[in-house]
Amino acid sequence: MELFHNFSLIHDDIMDNAPLRRNQPTIHRKWNPGVAILSGDAMLVKAYQLICTPESDLVMPDCILKILAIFNATALSVCEGQQLDMNYEKLDSVSVAQYIRMTELKTASLIAGSLKTGAIIAGAKAEDADRMYEFGKNIGIAFQLQDDILDAYGSEAKFGKQKGGDIIANKKTFLLLKALEISRHNAYKREELQQWIYSPVTDKDAKQKVEAVTAIYDFLNVRRLAEEEMLNYYQKGLSFLEQIPANESKKENLRKFIEGLMSREV
């Protein structure tokens, strides 16, 4: 799953023409797009190799088939979510519900699929494996909302990516969609925001655009709304974890892990 995730990030960076990933030059910038495409493809093949040749003898053949089914469904979801993300950049009207669905496919399905895979390998009942999936799905949506906030407000040195990359690319994040929704009642701010969205921006203007759009977000208080939405999905995810009849100390490890995700600066 981690290899697949990194494969998707390499290709994602090519499509977004992103200059940084984890505070390092992206593969296509360090080498070239051809090298990046082939590197990602090789990682996907390697992921399948690892699934089909597990190191542990405890992973039975019928378990591997279940894992492959989850892996394939996850891979298709991520690709569909990425396509929607790119489609939304060119659409004038995208709803928050559409954004959440895209996030569920592109980001949350990977976390959900990983957790369900672990549950199956551990011999969990089908209903508990499904609860783990729902736990991961909701935490994944919360994670993406946090990512949107960090993109606009985080430190570039800590975040490891270009600050305001979503703003520069006119990505339909929760912050932008809420700003467009709320600004219907403020014609001046709506016109200002739309001017930044529809005007071509050079590399020289990029920083100015990020600062201007972030100032509009601050005026409309959309960061607080994004944080509230993030907390709602976080708590919903925890409710599915609480329903699983597992050892409390083991569940506590998961709670601490996701608390770290929600309070991260990177």
Residues 47 and 130 in one domain: no
Q: Which amino acid is located at 236 in the chain? A: K
**109 and 40, same structural domain?**
no
Q: Phi and psi dihedrals of 25, rounded to 5?
A: -60, 135
* Of 18-32, 45-59, 167-181, 212-226, the least confident: 45-59
**The dihedral sign for the CA sequence 158, 163, 166, 169:** negative
Q: What are phi and psi of 169, to 5 degrees?
A: -85, 0
Query: What CATH code is carried by the domain that includes residue 134?
Result: 1.10.600.10
SS (H, E, C) 206-218: HHHHHHHHHHHHH
Instruction: Evaluate whether 240 touches 131 at the Cβ level (below 8 Å).
Output: yes
* Average pLDDT score over residue span 160-172: 83
Whether 250 contacts 185, CB under 8 Å: no
Same domain, 238 and 177: yes
Going by their DSSP bridges, the two strands 20-21 and 24-25 should be labelled as antiparallel
Please check whether residues 15 and 139 belong to one and the same domain: no
Q: Two tokens at 196? A: 């930044």
Cα dihedral 32/36/39/40 (nearest 10): -170
Same domain, 138 and 229: yes
Asked if residue 76 and residue 43 are part of one domain, the reply reads: no
Cα atoms in the 13 Å half-sphere on the side-chain side of 79 = 9
> Contact, 86 vs 106, CB < 8 A?
no
**C-beta separation of 110 from 80 below 8 A:** no
How far is the CA of 108 from the CAs of 5, 115, 123, 249, 252, in angstroms?
12, 11, 23, 25, 21
- Quick one: three-class SS letters along 14-64? HHHCCCEECCEECHHHHCCHHHHHHHHHHHHHHHHHHHHCCCCCCCCHHHH
pLDDT-derived band of residue 58, with 50, 70 and 90 as boundaries? low
Domain end point (choices 10, 26, 53): 53
What is the distance between the alpha carbons of residues 234 and 202, in angstroms, rounded to a whole number?
37
Number of compact structural domains in the chain: 2
How far apart are alpha carbons 56 and 208 in whole angstroms? 53
The mean-pLDDT minimum among 96-110, 203-217, 252-266 falls in 252-266
Domain that holds residue 234: 54-262
Query: Are residues 163 and 179 part of one domain?
Result: yes
> What tokens were used for 266?
């990177």
pTM of the model: 0.87
Give the pair of three-digit tokens for residue 210.
Answer: 């990020």
Q: What is the pLDDT of residue 160?
A: 62
Same domain, 167 and 47: no
- Are residues 89 and 30 located together in one domain of the fold? no
**Position 225, amino acid:** L
Do both 245 and 151 map to the same domain? yes
Which range among 136-145, 192-201, 229-238, 239-248 shows the weakest confidence by mean pLDDT?
192-201
Same domain, 104 and 25: no
Residues 151, 127 share a domain: yes
**Of 18, 34, 53, which one is at a domain's C-terminal end?**
53
- Summarize pLDDT for 61-90 with one digit per residue, the tens: 788 999 999 999 999 999 999 999 889 988
